[in-house]
Amino acid sequence: MANLHILDHPLIQHKLSLIRDKNTGSKDFRDLVEEVAMLMAYEVTRDFSLQDVEIETPVAMATTKMISGRKVGLVPILRAGLGMVAGMLRLIPAAKVGHVGLYRDPETLKPVEYYCKLPPDVEERDLIVIDPMLATGGSASAAITFLKQRGARNIKLMCLIAAPEGVEAVDRVHPDVDIFVAAVDKHLNEHGYIVPGLGDAGDRLFGTK
Ligand SMILES: O=P(O)(O)OC[C@H]1O[C@H](OP(=O)(O)OP(=O)(O)O)[C@H](O)[C@@H]1O
Ligand SMILES: O=c1cc[nH]c(=O)[nH]1
Ligand SMILES: [Mg+2]
């Protein structure tokens, strides 16, 4: 699939194994999710354009490069997407953060919206939707649809772990969206959980359950 990018850097894969381990407690889980999000941000921003700038080093004038004026927005899907925000802001500190609150109904597995607060100029920004888990794809698809309804056009999706079903679902509804993941797992189980996955990302981040 042309718009699926699997980020297989050794540091990302090593940390993802620790995140998956059921014996990793909430504090380490949070730290690792933040670190992996930061490492993934490095790849997700690879296509940012550069412009020449003139600077004076202690030795000479130089023509060098800086990121050109695109504005960036991060859009975590609540709750679990919050765990990835701080790591991404370490690399993209000028980004504004919008929040979309969705939970997945445990019976129907359909997303239910409960919150949406976005930067006012969302249509001018390059948006990165973030959520650790892409399972059926319902939540990510719904979040991207909200953003498009509010005028956003340039949207990427970044998740730690995806199920093949979720990648296909997002690609079917939003073929214009590039999807960045650290791993595509085997399948979903009968409760809609990714196998082998990491369990419930929100519960593991925040110690609920
Ligand atoms: O691809 P889907 O089938 O929609 O599932 C993925 C969604 O499920 C999880 O959220 P959850 O509903 O558990 O909410 P939470 O983050 O508040 O725990 C996860 O963080 C995604 O948002
Ligand atoms: O495996 C899954 C699927 C949905 N949400 C999670 O947190 N984990
Ligand atoms: Mg959850």
Task: Using alpha carbons, select from 5, 121, 108 the residue that is nearest to residue 70.
Answer: 121
Report, as an integer, the average pLDDT of 155-162. 98
Q: Decide if 75 contacts 100 (C-beta within 8 A).
A: yes
| 61 Cα: distance to centroid of ligand 3 (angstroms) | 53
Nearest CA residue ID for atom 2, ligand 2: 193
Known binding positions: 79, 104, 131-139, 194, 199-201
| 114 Cα: distance to centroid of ligand 3 (angstroms) | 14
How wide is the angle at C-alpha 74 spanned by C-alphas 69 and 76, nearest 5°? Answer: 175
0.80 exceeded by pTM: yes
Q: Decide if 122 contacts 151 (C-beta within 8 A).
A: yes
End-to-end CA distance of the chain: 36
How wide is the angle at C-alpha 33 spanned by C-alphas 29 and 34, nearest 5°? Answer: 120
Nearest CA residue ID for atom 19, ligand 1: 133
User: Residue 114: nearest ligand to its CA?
Assistant: 1
Most ligand 2 atoms within 8 A of CB, residue of 200, 205, 206, 209 to mutate: 200
The chain-wide mean pLDDT, for the chain, equals 96
Most ligand 2 atoms within 8 A of CB, residue of 184, 193, 204 to mutate: 193
Residue with tokens 């797992």: 185
Sequence-distant (6+) residues with CB within 8 A of 60 are none
Q: Cα separation of 110 and 138, whole Å?
A: 6
Q: Decide if 107 contacts 92 (C-beta within 8 A).
A: no
For ion ligand 3, residues whose CB falls within 5 Å = 200, 202
pLDDT at 78: 97
| 203 Cα: distance to centroid of ligand 3 (angstroms) | 6
pLDDT digits (tens, 9 = 90+) for 8-43: 999 999 999 999 999 999 999 999 999 999 999 999
The answer, yes or no, to whether any atom of ligand 1 lies below 6 A from the CB of 80, is: yes
Q: How many helices (H) and strands (E) does the chain have?
A: 6, 13
Q: Cα separation of 92 and 154, whole Å?
A: 17
Task: Using alpha carbons, select from 197, 39, 176, 76 the residue that is nearest to residue 133.
Answer: 197
pLDDT digits (tens, 9 = 90+) for 67-82: 987 799 999 999 999 9
Residue with tokens 């679902």: 169
- Model ipTM value: 0.97
Q: Cα separation of 28 and 198, whole Å?
A: 14
Report, as an integer, the average pLDDT of 126-149. 97
- The pair phi, psi for residue 195, each rounded to 5°, is -115, 125
pLDDT digits (tens, 9 = 90+) for 175-194: 999 999 999 999 999 999 99
pLDDT at 17: 98
Sequence-distant (6+) residues with CB within 8 A of 72 are 92, 94, 95, 96, 125, 126, 127, 128
Nearest CA residue ID for atom 7, ligand 2: 200
Ligand 1 atom with least separation from CA of 131: 20
